[in-house]
Amino acid sequence: MSHSNDLFERAQKIIPGGVNSPVRAFHSVGGTPFFTKRAQGAFLYTADDQPLIDFVCTWGPAIHGHNDPTIKAAIATALESGTSFGTPNLYEVDMAERIVSMVPSVEKVRMVNSGTEATMSTIRLARGFTGRTKIIKFAGCYHGHVDSLLVQAGSGALTLGQPDSAGIPPSFAAETIVLPYNDTEALVGAFKRYGEELAAVIVEPYPANVGLIFPHPGYLESMRQLCSRFGTILIFDEVMTGFRVAAGGVQEKTGITPDLTALGKIIGGGLPVGAFGGKAEIMDFIAPLGPVYQAGTLSGNPLAMAAGIAALEKLTSDNPYSRLQTFGEQIRDALLSAASQKGLPLQVPQTGSMFCLFFSENPVTNYEEAVASETDHFKTIFQHALKNGVYLPPSPFETCFICSSHEGSAMIRACEVLSEAIKSL
């Protein structure tokens, strides 16, 4: 028996499903999940010593590759002074200043411990600031496992065939209006009916938990205009896209500025972290200045802040975005070429270091089209890739991530393996 199989047997006895996050269980791709014992650069190394070229990149944070020496050194330096203080610390001020300087919408920012905490806090803050209760979200957009947001969600919930969750009172979900993404008419209609009741619209500006979807021209602009007209808070969930598609996220690329932004992943350098920020007048409604309560024992943890500061410094000094775009185009073109030779309809939406595969005749523009795409092909590709040393997200509805270490032989090999996988279909 392999070490990973043995570990999974042990884990299933004492961890629900044997995993600490559902998509890791490989339910949608089949087989037994591997366990990782170390990671370096573009590679994971399994408990059975198999090297894997990694296109999950710890689900987004590892934009500089695994075990980056600069980030590692920053953590080691911070560790000398302690693991947690329970008081304000120097690192969190530095981090806040960097976020404010890089993200267009953020005038003030509060650190939390996860992307879920960040989105949860933006919703509470929007409701507290506006005095309203209803929110709009979009089918297939995943904003963490928040009760009012886990309605027609993407990510692991979609992968498991349960885009909702047990344990959420219907009254919570009743305050959430779910609309199809990229449907301006539906958005206008919702504002006409509920406009004076809408506290917030929350959106992944590039939905990336149902594959990767891009907005139609003018769609996000219409969303911004409607929110401004009705006094509704526009929230961009840039937990995935923040600092990855550009230093300032999608809002930098598009020039569309939300009122609040949820952040995470890269700003922790691989350690648990989240943040939310936006207009000062809204952020000042957070305690201790305002009536909206939010707190966290480990918020602004010095180790996480030190790691995140190092990650952001590297983005500023190295400016890897043009290289990452080149890597993304390289793998996109290889996949499309292989599918064309095979005669398979394949869409590979890609921006910078993010891409996914949709086996569909036409570009996928919303949740319904995503779930209607052919997913069995992805399962075959996943297993072929894993057997030959390439690790893709274990779900057809997740986005793949590239890091700055995906270059040279690693990228060449990955393109070869994935092309072979497509041609084997």
Alpha-carbon gap, residue 402 to 57, rounded angstroms: 7
CB-based contact 116:146 (threshold 8 Å)? yes
Alpha-carbon gap, residue 103 to 240, rounded angstroms: 14
Region for residue 278 given its phi and psi (left: phi exceeds 0; alpha: psi -120 to 50; beta: otherwise): left
Integer CA distances (angstroms), 16 to 61, 116, 424, in order: 25, 20, 35
For 114-150, give the DSSP string.
Answer: SHHHHHHHHHHHHHHHH---EEEEETT----S-GGG-
Active-site amino acid positions: 142, 237, 265
Alpha-carbon gap, residue 259 to 77, rounded angstroms: 36
Alpha-carbon gap, residue 236 to 207, rounded angstroms: 11
Nearest to 209 by CA among 276, 163, 251: 163
- The backbone torsions φ and ψ at residue 242, rounded to the nearest 5 degrees and listed phi first, read -60, 130
